[in-house]
A and B are shown apart, each in its own frame.
Chain A
Amino acid sequence: MAIRLNLYHEVMKVEALKRRDPLKISMYGLSAVVMGLAGYYLWQVMVGSGLKRELAGKVVEFQEVERKAKLAKAREEELEEVAKVGVYLVKKAEGRFYWGPVLEQIAGVVPAEVQLTRLVGGVSGEGVKRCVLTIDGVSVGAEPRRVAENLRKALAEKLGVEYGGVTAKFRSLEDMAEGLAKGGKGISGATFAIQAEFRMGEEVVVETGRRKR
């Protein structure tokens, strides 16, 4: 077997040491880490840019929507005002106190023995209408006071059919000092004043079905 001598071993050792140089290897490793970090940073920058583009798009959309929403809000208030006025006037018209039926009812309960000399009525209140009626008159007959009392009762009963809280009271009821004559015969009479109070309706509430934001 031939003996083989490596006279070049020192050079080879130096070359091997160079190949396995820890500084070089660590530099490679460090470079890889730096590249990774740089790549991650670039990725994050791209994500940030994407978000900024999205934000810019949203800002443009918001400006457009905001402009339209402002106009829409003004238009809605305008429409609401029109609706409110209409609803309010309709409620007012529907909640009115009607005197026609009241006068008809009064005419229906006054007997032939009574003559009304004065009728004063007033209505007040919003929604719930309170009416006060004062009826002055003269009743005649054998029992003029009873005739007046019957009128008071009939008035309360008649008004009570249609209205609430009806009261009818005498403010005065007095025999007449002067005698009356009917068909040549003397008859007695009494003067009276009846005050009737009653109410009608409900509170007016304006509701258009919309709420303000």
Chain B
Amino acid sequence: MKLGREEVQKIVLGGLIIFGVIFSYFNLLLGPLARGKKATRERITALAGEIEAGKAQLMKTEAAERLAPEQAEVRRAMVSGIPEGSPVAWFPPRMGWFFKERGMEKVSTRMTSEVVEKEVRGFRQVVWTLDFPKVGFFQFAGAIADLENAEPLLEVTQIQIDAGREEPEVQKAVLTVSHYVNL
């Protein structure tokens, strides 16, 4: 069978059309679709990871919530002895009463300095100096031991006891204490 010129032209033209159609099908239709699906799958995977992380955070917080009452109780127990208001208003009288109950009168208490704690927000450390004009060594030692047991947020940082020249059995004493109070 011999093809005429017109038929050859038709076949060539048909071939070109088929090639164009196939090229368009894969590149203009299936190509963008495949790229879109790939991007969507990647986004879904990423979101799944973030959702898992969010759920892990929720579980972590739930675990923290379970421990919270116990930890809040510890905190409450520690700060329960700190009255409201300025420490200058309540700490010196408190020390006066404390040592008066143990037979030491005329204790003078004055604030020396204060430091804001960086580790614990909401607290500051106040340094006080307590002067005792007349104490007995054993009485004083016993009172310090009581004070350390009664005030968990107080620490005696310096102590000075001087024996009197006229009455050797009576001493003068100075205490420096640091105490945690609310900001």
Footprint of B on A, CB under 8 Å? 30, 37, 40-41, 44-45, 47-48, 51-52, 54-55, 58-59, 61-62, 65-66, 68-69, 72-73, 75-76, 79-90, 92-93, 96-101, 103-104, 107, 115-124, 206, 210, 213
Contacts and interface: CB of A to CB of B under 8 A. Distances in A.
B77 to A, nearest CB: 8
A52 B40 contact: yes
Contact of B47 (A37, A55, A96): A55
Given A107-B137, A119-B159, A120-B159, A89 B78 contact: yes
B50 A79 contact: no
State the 6 A-B residue pairs at the shortest beta-carbon distance, nearest first: A100-B145, A86-B75, A103-B141, A65-B54, A69-B54, A72-B61
Interface in B91-109: none
Contact of A100 (B47, B48, B61, B144): B144
Nearest to B73: A86
B144 to A, nearest CB: 5
A45 B122 CA distance: 60
Given A100-B144, A118-B162, A206-B119, A58 B25 contact: no
Contacts of A117: 162-163
B164 to A, nearest CB: 10
B71 A83 contact: yes
B75 A93 contact: no
User: Interface on chain A toward B: helix, strand, loop, or mixed SS?
Assistant: helix
Contacts of B79: 89
B161 A118 contact: yes
B83 interface: no
Contacts of A73: 57, 61
B180 interface: yes
Contacts of B148: 96, 98-100
B119 A88 contact: yes
Contacts of A103: 137, 140-141, 144-145
A58 B71 contact: no
A51 B41 contact: yes
B50 A37 contact: no
A118 B164 CA distance: 9
A111 to B, nearest CB: 15
A93 B30 contact: no
A51 B37 contact: yes
B44 interface: yes
B29 to A, nearest CB: 6
A68 B155 contact: no
A85 B121 CA distance: 7
Contact of B44 (A51, A81, A92, A99): A51
Contact of A72 (B43, B58, B68, B156): B58
A185 B162 CA distance: 28
B159 A82 contact: no
Contact of A93 (B55, B152, B168): B152
Contacts of B41: 51
15 contacts: A41-B30, A44-B30, A47-B37, A48-B36, A55-B40, A61-B47, A72-B60, A83-B67, A85-B122, A99-B159, A103-B145, A119-B161, A120-B160, A122-B159, A123-B158
B104 to A, nearest CB: 15
Given A84-B120, A123-B157, A45 B33 contact: yes
